[in-house]
Structure 1
Amino acid sequence: MPVWSQEDRLIADSADALFADTGGLTGLRLGNGRTLARIRAEGWAGVLLDEEQGGLGFGLRGAAIVMQSAGRNLSPEPLAAMIAVAWLLGTIGEGTLVSELMSGQQIILSAHAQWDGERYVTGAIPGIAVADHLVVFCSDDQSLRLINCKNAKDPEVDIDIFSTVDFGSSGAASFAKGAGTILCVGKIATELAEKIEDLVRLFHAAELVGIAAQALTIVSDYVKIRQQFGVSLSSHQVIQHRLASVHVQIAAAEAIVYEAVRAVDGEQRRFGVKTAYQQARHAAELSTREAIQFHGGIGFTDECDIGLFFKRVMGIAAAQNGCLPVIEERVA
């Protein structure tokens, strides 16, 4: 497991306080939107941006720590994409958009789109219901475009939104050939689109580690108080062994995620990010499934906290387009 510095712990404590102060799991169930309001007001999307750009200057490691906290607290907001897009806009010098994003005036997410012969069509975009704009990479002409998704009267852009099982939202966009504003084209656009994709996947990996760790904490506390035949579940060695196995997988995932963070600017970035995501998703699925198993049937219900963690893992998997089998094949 990585060794955290005092600065790392301060970042984690600040992020935990943000999510706790805005309602935690109760706020998630109620959908009160307070977390998103705080993220916008306090500029949390700018954790990767330097202070000179109006950001928080936490760096990539700090961003991963924030996302780990988001996982522990089950934040439904599309924070991973917001952070990645803020970095992109800062990199290409879109100062006005960065200022609007940091001041809370804009929520901008990312997407990929393909030409279907009539319109550009994106894949699923988690959190699109709260987005003001999208930064979309169009693969056919290798362009990055800024698409306005709040102008309902714009016939060139169509947004389809649906609710997800983890109390969030997702959806897809389609737009005409001439829609939006072109930010950049060619090789630089392709490289930036790949970097955004890797950053979002890496942040989701960190979020999954946080989910896995919190699920293990919840179930460890539960088996100490849950009794069968007059003894607690935690007294059974088989339970102890299974929880220990989960802990090992989480520790391995966390170490790999932060190694991928360290090597993100190297030649093996894509391999490292995919490996980190694979291990983190495996650890999160194992942790939440075991936790539900030890809780019994009630564990899968919305009234039981642990069920929410399992559903969030499924939500992140859907956001990554179910790409784990492909990632496993490439990593192997």
Structure 2
Amino acid sequence: MHFNLSEEQAMLQASTARFIDQQYSFEVREKDVRLPEGFNRDTWATFAELGWLSVPISEAGGGFGGNAADTMVIMEELGKGLVASPYIPTVMLFGSFVDLGAPDILKQNLLEPLIAGQLQGAFAYQERQSRYNLADVKTTATREGESYVLNGEKTLVMNGATANQIVVSARINGEQFDTAGISLFVIDANAPGVHKTSYRLMDGQLVANIRFENLSVASSQLLGEEGDGYSLIEKVVNNTVLALCAEAMGIMVKLTDTTREYTKARKQFGAPISSFQVLQHRMVDMFMACEQTRSLLFRAVCSVGTTDADRSLHALKYMIGRNGRMICNEAIQLHGGMGVTDELDVGHYVKRLMVINTMFGDADHHQQRLAQISLPT
């Protein structure tokens, strides 16, 4: 089986890598992540000009209509560059929900400015008690005539402080853990009844806790069918997890390459430490961990839309957590005390990888989910 990129994918990968190499150094990243919004608007406009924001959006929605492999090549390069951008919350989450579930008029009004880089989006799904259960929803949506009234709170909303529009999951009916009875709404982030508290995570990204108090939402802002939002959530989140794993793959490769180059330059006892056999073995372990993970990434990308998709995705997310942790530990240790300083990029890559491990389920969670899936007969 061949895993060669198509001509379009190779061009997409090359343009992303070239942008990072020429315009996005670690020093630029550090300045961007400290901005009030957590990213640079000019950089985001460049993403729009290069067409990256349109890649996962369908042709009917005005996008490129790309598949999982197209998204993979972008996200892996963004991971290598440790790019601070709202690509995951705005494009992969918000954009996909609108593309797949919004009425035509709403879709046109939202996707056109999103692709042009003029609209920021977010997905508010997680609650204080929900942990990794997407169906654990206490936020309520009560029908009142031709509209709904939302009450509840969402936590750790990526890009929630900056977003103009937010997709919110709320329960129409059913019990707390029921998959049925959950609806999705697109709301104005600055509407009366929306209260935000923003803060930063260890990787520097800006998130927000958002409280809804008697927020009135028109029925035209409903995504999909009433009470049937969970199936759409599963589909969009699975695609997003795959994109996050591709970003993590880029980080793991970068940490491995950076560590190898450092051991060639660092001398001890008059010789590069890369000449010490015990360190060579550890660097080989890092390389093998990357290759193992890449194999699972290719399998997960190729299995999208098949009966093997869930099993492949759980295995990949588990491997990202396990191998990612090992690579982080080795990179820090082989760099010595400098590996944890803010001045060196290694520690920042490690922090981002640790955050990715916790998003939509950590390694233990996905290992348990994988164990619950029965093997084919």
TM-score by length of 1: 0.90
CA distance in 1, matches of 2:7, 2:283: 29
Deviation at residue 56 of structure 1 after TM alignment: 2.9
For residues 37-58 of structure 1, the C-alpha deviation after alignment (integer angstroms, 9 at most, x for no partner) is 3224544222122445322343
1:191 and 2:200 correspond: no
Determine if contact 2:45/2:116 at 8 Å carries over to the other structure: no
Structure 1 stretch 63-72 or stretch 17-26: which is displaced more? Answer: 17-26
CA distance in 2, matches of 1:177, 1:206: 39
CA distance in 1, matches of 2:312, 2:171: 24
Question: Which amino acid is 1:174 matched to?
Answer: R
Choose which of 294, 318, 322 in structure 2 pairs with 1:282: 322
Larger Rg: 2
- State the match for 1:144 in structure 2: 184
Structure 1 stretch 74-83 or stretch 114-123: which is displaced more? Answer: 114-123
Determine if contact 2:195/2:210 at 8 Å carries over to the other structure: yes
Question: Could you say if the C-alpha distance between residues 43 and 158 of structure 1 is closer, same or farther in structure 2, counting changes exceeding 3 Å?
Answer: farther
Determine if contact 2:68/2:239 at 8 Å carries over to the other structure: no
Choose which of 201, 205, 208 in structure 2 pairs with 1:171: 208
- State the match for 2:118 in structure 1: 105
Deviation at residue 325 of structure 1 after TM alignment: 1.6
SS in 1 for 2:168: strand
* Richer in helix (by share): 1
1:220 and 2:260 correspond: yes
CA distance in 1, matches of 2:260, 2:357: 25
Question: Could you say if the C-alpha distance between residues 241 and 291 of structure 1 is closer, same or farther in structure 2, counting changes exceeding 3 Å?
Answer: same
CA distance in 2, matches of 1:105, 1:184: 25
For residues 247-276 of structure 1, the C-alpha deviation after alignment (integer angstroms, 9 at most, x for no partner) is 111111112112112212123333322221
Determine if contact 1:2/1:254 at 8 Å carries over to the other structure: no
Question: Which amino acid is 1:138 matched to?
Answer: A
Structure 1 stretch 86-95 or stretch 59-68: which is displaced more? Answer: 86-95
SS in 2 for 1:122: strand
Deviation at residue 204 of structure 1 after TM alignment: 0.7
For residues 27-82 of structure 1, the C-alpha deviation after alignment (integer angstroms, 9 at most, x for no partner) is 21111614333224544222122445322343221101111111100012231233
Deviation at residue 160 of structure 1 after TM alignment: 1.4
Question: Which amino acid is 2:198 matched to?
Answer: I
Deviation at residue 206 of structure 1 after TM alignment: 0.6
- Taking the TM superposition and a 5 Å limit, the aligned residue runs for 1:84-103 are 84=92, 85-92=94-101, 93=104, 94-103=107-116
Gaps of 5+ in 2: 127-136, 141-149, 173-180, 372-377
CA distance in 1, matches of 2:19, 2:211: 34
Determine if contact 1:157/1:179 at 8 Å carries over to the other structure: no
Structure 1 stretch 287-296 or stretch 32-41: which is displaced more? Answer: 32-41
Question: Could you say if the C-alpha distance between residues 39 and 7 of structure 1 is closer, same or farther in structure 2, counting changes exceeding 3 Å?
Answer: closer
Determine if contact 1:208/1:281 at 8 Å carries over to the other structure: no
Gaps of 5+ in 1: none
Question: Which amino acid is 1:90 matched to?
Answer: D
